[in-house]
Structure 1
Amino acid sequence: MKKYQIIFVLILIVGYSYGQGFKQLDFKKQTFELHNVTGEVIKFQGKKVLKLERDLEALPFDEHNLEATVDDRHYARLIDIDDFENGTIEVKMYSQLQDPASYPGIAGFIGVYFRIAEDDSGWESIYVRPKVGRATNQRLRNHTVQYFSYPDFKFDTLRKIAPFEYEGSAPVALNEWITMRIEVNGESAEMFVNDLKYSSFVVDKMLGKTKKGYVGLYVDVGTIGYFKDLKVTQKACKEVEDNSEKINDI
């Protein structure tokens, strides 16, 4: 191959990689890859945190087509671990509403993705809607916690086929730190909040096809999310053996 042809091929490869690449952020000991979110490391309440917002230009939102345009590929991927299957994910997160609101139904959507496929084709998720966590209406409180599985079982589909089976309540609120801990074991997952002894939410049987992958931090439309102290501990499924442990933390 002639010299100019080699140079041309290299230019194409570099250009393609750059075009397909994602911005990365280093936050303390971890590196995050931004998928359709904007992000920066800032000082918030006296400490460094990772600030995330959904990028509506990169991935548009349509309030008339919620099922297709929420619970999607808008998150910060922790690239340090690519084979999370079972174990514990713990993070501190703080949710604010954007002002002005981009959509009247915003509720501070914030949480965690896990078992994310390399190509973003599938994952599991548990997130919260802090705006309704302490509502005086019990029906609204029951929508505080949400499980979904991308791409086939987003929140709206699950509400239709299994009302309230994949949603629940939790004592959380906007504008305060929430500690979320998710225990993943085989087909089940439990969510604990704010160091409570017992779980607030249980997923008896997760619905996704992706069994291992990355972990990500999630925000959706109208949310300003702040994250810190992410810790991921990998363990074998308890039904097989109880050994551990690979830890990646800040």
Structure 2
Amino acid sequence: MKFEDVEFDIVNVKASSTLLNGEKVIKVERDLDKLPFDANRLGATVDEPTFIKIKNVDFADGVIEVKMLSKIQHPSPFEAARGFIGIAYRINEDNSAFDAIYLRPTNGRADNQFMRNHTVQYYAYPEYKFDRLRKEANGEYETYADIGLNEWISIRIEIKDKKAVLYINNQKSPSFIVNEMKGNTKSGSIGLWVDIGTEGYFKDFKFTKTPQKK
């Protein structure tokens, strides 16, 4: 698909250009025909390659910026859907490895503090999904953010070597810092990512690559 002169490959999602409140945006939803979901095998069937990714881009270090909004699908195929939406990066050619940071906007305004603590998530596909990181890293790859469903959320991710720093809604201080990314790809494409039960909308997408030293 093409959006504002940017060409994307569609990977395990349904994607289209649409209007949201009069604005032209990208809509992305997980395609359950291409990649089935099983709530009884949650760890095995979420945090997968479910995104549209930019064609012919090799991104290693730099800055990724986008505005995103998520809604829960009605009916939702997953009772515990959280509006999962985010960015995948350093995606290799066959989509078998990448890093990602995503949001669970429902959790950001929850009354339960445990849920709030899991509003922002990092993972590295395929080895380090949310469940393994939660078990082994004791919250190091998740955090809280004041965000919600049905609202535009601005994110900026600064990536350098093994470190990723996330800024939300133009705050001066980072909302989330990943000091040691787990992915094994050093460069690759960038993807607009969603997961189960989510209607994801994206706009104002841009990225800047850090020049690589020769």
The TM-score normalised by the length of structure 2 is: 0.97
Task: Quote the offset at 1:137 in angstroms.
Answer: 2.4
Amino acid at match of 2:150: N
Equivalent-residue separation in structure 2 for 1:137 and 1:72 (angstroms) = 27
Matched, 1:85 2:84: no
1:174 aligns with one of 123, 134, 149: 149
CA-to-aligned-CA distance 1:126-169 (integer Å, 9 cap, x gap): 00000011223222111000000001000011111112110001
Matched, 1:59 2:35: yes
Query: Is residue 26–residue 32 contact of structure 1 (8 Å, CA) maintained in 2?
Result: yes
Tell me the equivalent position of 2:77: 102
SS in 1 for 2:71: strand
Structure 2 matches for 1:11-50, cutoff 5 A? Answer: 25-50=1-26
Equivalent-residue separation in structure 2 for 1:206 and 1:163 (angstroms) = 15
Matched, 1:143 2:143: no
Amino acid at match of 2:67: K
Equivalent-residue separation in structure 2 for 1:196 and 1:171 (angstroms) = 11
Equivalent-residue separation in structure 1 for 2:172 and 2:109 (angstroms) = 19
Task: Quote the offset at 1:50 in angstroms.
Answer: 0.4
Task: Quote the offset at 1:80 in angstroms.
Answer: 4.3
Matched, 1:209 2:190: no
SS in 2 for 1:156: helix
Tell me the equivalent position of 2:130: 155
Task: Quote the offset at 1:107 in angstroms.
Answer: 0.1
Equivalent-residue separation in structure 2 for 1:208 and 1:43 (angstroms) = 35
CA-to-aligned-CA distance 1:147-199 (integer Å, 9 cap, x gap): 00001000011111112110001111000000111000110001101111111
1:183 aligns with one of 153, 158, 167: 158
Tell me the equivalent position of 1:21: none
Identity of aligned residues (%): 48
Amino acid at match of 2:6: Q
Gaps of 5+ in 1: 1-24, 242-250
Amino acid at match of 2:104: R
Equivalent-residue separation in structure 1 for 2:51 and 2:181 (angstroms) = 20
Amino acid at match of 1:214: S
Matched, 1:119 2:94: yes
* Structure 1 ranges of 4+ moved more than 4 A: none
Query: Is residue 126–residue 147 contact of structure 1 (8 Å, CA) maintained in 2?
Result: yes
Amino acid at match of 2:51: Y
SS in 1 for 2:131: helix
Aligned positions, number? 214
Q: Which has the higher contact order (CA 8 A, sep 6+)?
A: 2
Task: Quote the offset at 1:110 in angstroms.
Answer: 0.0
Query: Is residue 34–residue 75 contact of structure 1 (8 Å, CA) maintained in 2?
Result: yes
